[in-house]
Structure 1
Amino acid sequence: MRLTIWAGLWVILLDQASKYYVVHWLGLGNPGRGKIEVFPPYLEFHMAWNRGVNFGLFSGLDMRWVLIGLAFVISAAVLWWLRKHGGSKWVYLSAGLLIGGAMGNVIDRIFYGAVADFLNMSCCGINNPYSFNIADIAIFIGAVGLAFFGDDGKSTPNKNSA
């Protein structure tokens, strides 16, 4: 469980530090500033305040507290599942990434009222209109890790029971 806690704490720290740097030091949180080319056309800092869920869905609705509550419920469910089933170090690491990313975005929703998304990647003539952040990357990797490493064979039906 220590690996989960440490992974989650590091994700929160890196996520919040990167957002503080981009929003406050680089000034992308200021109206009109919005975009910095870092490694064009592959990487830009393109500020987007996400009040909704993935890709800004439901951003017109005031779902701030619902999404904060949902992040806590999902994180608690993952911790409960981890305590009950355990797993390899990859399962604990994946859970930490997922929970840390969720809590990083919760911090944004509490302090900014929206999630600070700023990473934008485009390539090969395809213009990506969506931005994301380190917490989103951690959530994605954590969820994929739990999907791949979370089944240790315990959920496979017993062949002798048929």
Structure 2
Amino acid sequence: MMVGVSEDQPPEEPTVAAALPEEHLPPKRLPIFLAVAVVLLGLDLLTKSIIVAQLTPGHPVRVIGDVVRLTLVRNAGAAFSMATGMTWLLTLIATSVVVGVIRIARRLRSVWWAVGLGMVLGGALGNLVDRFFRAPGPMLGHVVDFISVGWWPVFNVADSSVVCGAILLVALTVFGFEPDGTRTGRAVGEPKTGEESAA
């Protein structure tokens, strides 16, 4: 007689967060995420407004010799002025990024993940405002860039925020810190160090 083979798959291992009762989980970090995003968005909009009012294209202002300058540039493309003819597509991509980040952030329990995603959201929104509300028109607006450092392409506060936030998120992923406040490979109930508690 042949022994039947069950087609049932073994149950999936629960995640660390799923194995813990709600009262033992770190609090959700949505307020931190929103605060970081709002502060950086406000800083980006403020600096752009000042630069547009005070500078004329082609007339840079030296801050540190020829190394650091303020120069008004209107960028129709992505970072480093790439894809200048695809402004409408870049606007759609940025909008999708904003929606995705907000959906992820609702479940955040890690402080540093909240900071990193808040930086990405604040920067993405800063440049998205330019896309929608600056000339030549909605979804085709040119982003205001004004920080020139050495040979590096001209950028703005929003660009810096997105890049720094992305670097932070990559570092957290590499070192095993999860958005839910746990760390990859750590057993359930195992005490955390001070650094891990903050994450």
Q: Which bin holds the TM-score, normalised by the shorter protein?
A: 0.7 to 0.9
Q: Indicate how the Cα distance of structure 1 residues 102 and 47 shifts in structure 2: closer, same or farther if over 3 A, else same.
A: same
Query: Which has the larger helix fraction?
Result: 1
CA distance in 2, matches of 1:6, 1:156: 27
Out of 71, 90, 98, the position equivalent to 1:75 is: 98
Indicate yes or no: 2:33 matched with 1:11.
no
Q: Aligned partner of 1:94: which letter?
A: G
Q: Secondary structure at the match of 1:105?
A: helix
**Corresponding residue for residue 56 of structure 1:** 81
Q: Is there any run of 5+ residues in structure 1 with no aligned partner, and where?
A: 123-127, 158-162
Measured against aligned partners, the alpha-carbon deviations of 1:44-75 in whole angstroms (never above 9, x if no partner) come to: 0122211111111111x1x3332222112112
Q: Indicate how the Cα distance of structure 1 residues 89 and 155 shifts in structure 2: closer, same or farther if over 3 A, else same.
A: closer
Measured against aligned partners, the alpha-carbon deviations of 1:104-156 in whole angstroms (never above 9, x if no partner) come to: 0011112221110110011xxxxx16100000000001111111124426795
CA distance in 2, matches of 1:34, 1:9: 31
CA distance in 2, matches of 1:82, 1:16: 23
- Is the 1:35–1:47 Cα contact (8 Å) retained in structure 2? yes
CA distance in 2, matches of 1:87, 1:67: 30
Q: Relative contact order (C-alpha < 8 Å, sep 6+): which is higher?
A: 1
- Is the 1:88–1:149 Cα contact (8 Å) retained in structure 2? no
**Corresponding residue for residue 106 of structure 1:** 128
**Corresponding residue for residue 143 of structure 2:** 115
The CA RMSD measured in Å over matched residues stands at 2.1
- Is the 2:120–2:166 Cα contact (8 Å) retained in structure 1? yes
Find runs of 4+ consecutive structure 1 residues off by over 4 angstroms.
Answer: 153-157
Report which of the two structures shows the higher radius of gyration computed on alpha carbons: 2
Q: Indicate how the Cα distance of structure 1 residues 103 and 40 shifts in structure 2: closer, same or farther if over 3 A, else same.
A: same
CA distance in 2, matches of 1:39, 1:20: 22
CA distance in 1, matches of 2:152, 2:117: 29
- Is the 1:101–1:138 Cα contact (8 Å) retained in structure 2? yes
Indicate yes or no: 2:60 matched with 1:35.
yes
Q: Is there any run of 5+ residues in structure 2 with no aligned partner, and where?
A: 1-29, 135-140, 186-199
CA distance in 2, matches of 1:35, 1:20: 16
CA distance in 2, matches of 1:156, 1:64: 39
CA distance in 2, matches of 1:121, 1:142: 20
TM-score in terms of structure 2 length: 0.66
Q: Aligned partner of 1:147: which letter?
A: V
